[in-house]
Amino acid sequence: MLFYLMNLYCSYIPPKSYILSIYSFIILLIVAFFNKYIYFAVSLLIVAVSLFVTNNLSRKLAHEERRKMEIWAEAMKRFNTIDPDDNLNFELIWQIIESNKIIPAIIADGDGNIINYVNIDNVPEDKTEFFRKKIANFRTKNRPIELMLDDERQYIYYDNSILLKYLEEFPYVQFALVAAFLLICFWAFTSDKKSEQNLVWVGLSKETAHQLGTPISSLLAWEEILKTQGINENILSEINKDISRLRTISERFSKIGSAPIIKEENIVEVVENSIAYLRKRTSNKVNYTVAHTSEVIAAAINIPLFEWVIENLCKNAVDAMGGIGEISFNIQSSGGNVIIDIKDTGKGIAKKHFKDVFKPGFTTKQRGWGLGLSLSKRIIDDYHKGKIFVRSSEVGRGTTFRIILRK
């Protein structure tokens, strides 16, 4: 259907205009590689120019069809008055009458009685009602042509030709094509940008894991030396926990860009273990609480990566509270999902920033890269196929984040 419309359109417009319309799409592709904003502006300009040109062609064709029908009406009038022996004029007039092969027309008297019709198919048995509706429809499109035959006033009602109808509809088809083209290119831009971001994330993560390897090995060696120095066992235990945490962090970074192992784990236990570690390394004025509907609530996760998300949320909450306040977890099972709400009593987030907080580089702190929540969203959305979002927040009273995981 589309190619048929284009062929009809191109068969009527001048060849130079047809070539120009093809080149316009090529220009769109070239511009798209340089600047997407210029691309959208050029796209809108091409659509506007195309609509203007097509509408102009439609008006010209409608005027031309009107002129043809007036000539056809005059030929009908002459046909009734011509001398039958005048073969030359008779044949010429007959050819004019027979030349109308595409414009539907109805000849009727002043009372609406049908005298003749051409180029109208599928006429039913109930012709009166059929032609009454046809005449009403034709009158809305074109002004009828008055015809005097044998002192009788007759009228020619005519419709637009199939070519003119397609030409009038073509701008909408063209607009739909350009809109689809815009959507495809927008998707391509977005995918390309996301792919570039992924490469940056992966490269940065791999390099970080590599750089952490050497100092972690050195710390392990120093730990062994300290053991021989009679250092307090509790101190050595805490040092060992921190070294283990560093190894876990290195492992987390190394997993970015590769498919992590996802398996069913007890979310309650994982969250409580993360909080137990954080309690000793944050202000004692921060109170952690965990509420859950069951001691065992299972979900498919990768523990090192999921713990990373919990730590990022808790550290942001501690910063937002200024080291004083409460962080509460609520874990519950709902259908095929596990829902985790993390609520703090910090300074809150303005509603207009609910989505911005997950964008790389967005931060309200004087220090920091604004990558923690962006990384957390990537871990939950991409690796765990879950969701993380700001459930609610009130400036000056606190924020609640929600994580939804699949069982």
E strands of 56-158, at which residues? 105-109, 114-118, 145-149, 152-158
For residue 140, the tally of other CB atoms under 10 A from its CB is 7
Please report the pLDDT score of residue 288 as a whole number: 95
317: pLDDT strictly greater than 70: yes
**Burial zone of 39 (CB within 10 Å; 0-12 exposed, 13-18 middle, 19+ buried):** buried
pLDDT digits (tens, 9 = 90+) for 149-169: 777 888 999 898 888 888 778
308: pLDDT strictly greater than 70: yes
Please report the pLDDT score of residue 128 as a whole number: 83
In the DSSP assignment, the letter for residue 99 is T
pLDDT digits (tens, 9 = 90+) for 79-132: 777 666 666 677 777 888 888 888 899 888 888 888 888 888 888 887 888 888
Most confident of 9-18, 52-61, 186-195, 272-281: 272-281
Most confident of 180-184, 235-239, 260-264: 260-264
323: left (phi over 0), alpha (psi -120 to 50) or beta: left
Q: Average pLDDT of 33-41?
A: 61
Residue with tokens 């907080």: 357
pLDDT higher at 112 or 10? 112
Q: How far apart are CA 241 and CA 58, in angstroms?
A: 79
pLDDT higher at 92 or 399? 399
**Burial zone of 279 (CB within 10 Å; 0-12 exposed, 13-18 middle, 19+ buried):** middle
The three-state DSSP-derived secondary structure of 51-66 is HHHHHHHHHHHHHHHH
Confidence of residue 147 (pLDDT cuts 50, 70, 90): confident
Please report the pLDDT score of residue 48 as a whole number: 76
CB of 166 closer than 8 Å to CB of 35: no
Strand order in the sheet with 114-118: 114-118, 105-109, 152-158, 145-149
Q: Average pLDDT of 398-407?
A: 93
**Where do the structural domains in the chain lie, given as residue ranges?**
105-159, 260-406
Report the CATH architecture of 260-406: 2-Layer Sandwich (3.30)
Question: Residue 12: which of 117, 148, 178, 161 has the closest Cα?
Answer: 161
Please report the pLDDT score of residue 15 as a whole number: 42
H or E stretch including 38? helix 36-81
Question: Residue 182: which of 22, 10, 31, 51 has the closest Cα?
Answer: 31
Please report the pLDDT score of residue 16 as a whole number: 40
Q: How far apart are CA 70 and CA 68, in angstroms?
A: 5
255: left (phi over 0), alpha (psi -120 to 50) or beta: alpha
Please report the pLDDT score of residue 212 as a whole number: 75
Q: How far apart are CA 282 and CA 235, in angstroms?
A: 17
Please report the pLDDT score of residue 13 as a whole number: 41
